[in-house]
Chains A and B, each alone.
Chain A
């Protein structure tokens, strides 16, 4: 091997080595951002009171997290919380039961000391879904139709919704608001999505043949995100007629593996994390999607968001709770 061949070989090797890395995220960058795992697993944020976060964690546990640095820690309240809902004063929760049986619903008074957990409804409702951040539950009635109730006072919100072969629908609730969507299969090949404001039906949406997994209505514009990654945009003034605007890249409604898909709204945008843990936003007026590189949650997988008094809190799959400062875009572990 002459000198030139040796030199070319070395240069080619260097190019190859540099080129090998282009498909990966930075390993050392990810190491420097790594976060400590918590032993509570997935965290669904329910409510915040002072420095305490009320959560549903893995194995259907209702837990409270004290974020004050001096007394940081988790306290178990119940292991029966497959479904959770809140009216901000109380948390309502129910375990899963055998098919077609009714779920016993319990009530926990937020911040009660000693812990006050009492039975609320012993054997009244076949619960299909509850919203962790709202006072709403979907139940299946005796005629296999679906009703929506306020959990706190049993007030009927919606009655007698029919879905294909009694497939349970999804309940998607807008945080800190009264809008919600009931989304489900209405025939073998079609889905229907009912948009409500409180108990008022705003729109019956068809033509989106996949479950809606997230949405936001800011009073002027509304964006729906389907499990197929399609973005649909409409306006209140336009009578809730929706137009497909594109798709969210690297999106799978099964990751995280629960629905609704975790999103939060700030400014004019709906924010979500994609499959690669990058933050993306959907602009409500235009329905366009953009990468939000300045909000760095790449070291964690988001499981839930809680918007409380203008602040955004993040529950993760295994790394505890974080706060996003939407002014500085700084992410802080709590």
Chain B
């Protein structure tokens, strides 16, 4: 339960930081409109929770091991262009995989990503939210779902253009079924927590 609270806390903190007063942040700006970033990301993913709101019997909320998913992996490529000195908008294409007790679950998320970087320079703290779709496959079935992500990172630019980022966050994949379908009770909001290392190239 504690772990779930931490996840929820993260969800609350990320938007509040995004909405923080820009004036309170350091004045020195690394980026300007037109600046660009290329990011390559990889790392393990923890299965955070499955929430089944319409389940008539059994546990509606499963967390971590209870989901039967093992620790998986995530890799992605991302391109973003800056809209202002602190906001970058772009797209990310990824690949996530994890095994349950037998079989492989894969997801190919593609999303629009908005990143806010309040602290800039050699050390940066990027905060991102994303919205898009994920193509999910398991056993012989697959389907397209919505996707929402939120993440926070800590970056160190060891060269002017090149930096490393340690990041974490939450990826939400809803599996939706209509009320009149046989699978209505299978409706699930799945949460995944990637812990990633990224390499970023930036250009002004």
Contacts and interface: CB of A to CB of B under 8 A. Distances in A.
B136 interface: yes
A188 interface: no
Given A26-B187, A32-B66, 15 more contacts: A14-B146, A17-B144, A18-B177, A19-B178, A21-B177, A22-B183, A24-B141, A24-B143, A25-B183, A26-B186, A28-B188, A29-B183, A30-B139, A34-B102, A34-B103
Given A18-B178, A34-B68, A37-B102, A26 B188 contact: yes
A289 to B, nearest CB: 16
Nearest to A18: B176
Contacts of A34: 68, 100-103
Contact of A27 (B101, B133, B141, B178): B141
Interface in A1-43: 14, 17-22, 24-37
Contacts of B178: 18-19, 22
Given A20-B143, A30-B139, A31-B67, A36 B101 contact: yes
Interface of B: 50, 52, 62, 66-69, 100-103, 105, 133, 136, 138-139, 141, 143-146, 175-178, 181, 183, 185-188, 190
A25 B186 contact: yes
Q: Which 5 A-B pairs have the closest CB atoms?
A: A26-B186, A28-B188, A34-B100, A29-B186, A34-B101
Contacts of B187: 26
Contact of A21 (B69, B102, B143): B143
Interface of A: 14, 17-22, 24-37, 318-319
Contacts of A33: 68
A246 to B, nearest CB: 20
A28 to B, nearest CB: 4
B113 to A, nearest CB: 17
A22 B143 CA distance: 10
A36 B100 CA distance: 9
A331 B98 CA distance: 26
Given A17-B133, A24-B141, A29-B52, A35 B188 contact: no
Contacts of B190: 28
Nearest to A22: B181
Contacts of B100: 31, 34
Contacts of A36: 101-102
Contacts of A22: 177-178, 181, 183
Contacts of B67: 28, 31-32
B102 A28 contact: no
A256 to B, nearest CB: 17
B145 A17 contact: yes
B136 A27 contact: yes
Nearest to A31: B100
B100 to A, nearest CB: 4
7 contacts: A17-B144, A21-B183, A26-B177, A29-B186, A31-B67, A31-B138, A37-B101
Given A21-B176, A24-B183, A32 B145 contact: no
B102 A26 contact: no
A30 B69 CA distance: 11
B68 A31 contact: yes
A96 B83 CA distance: 75
Contacts of B139: 30
B148 to A, nearest CB: 13
A35 B101 contact: yes
Contacts of B101: 34-37
Contacts of A30: 138-139
B175 A26 contact: yes
A34 B47 CA distance: 15
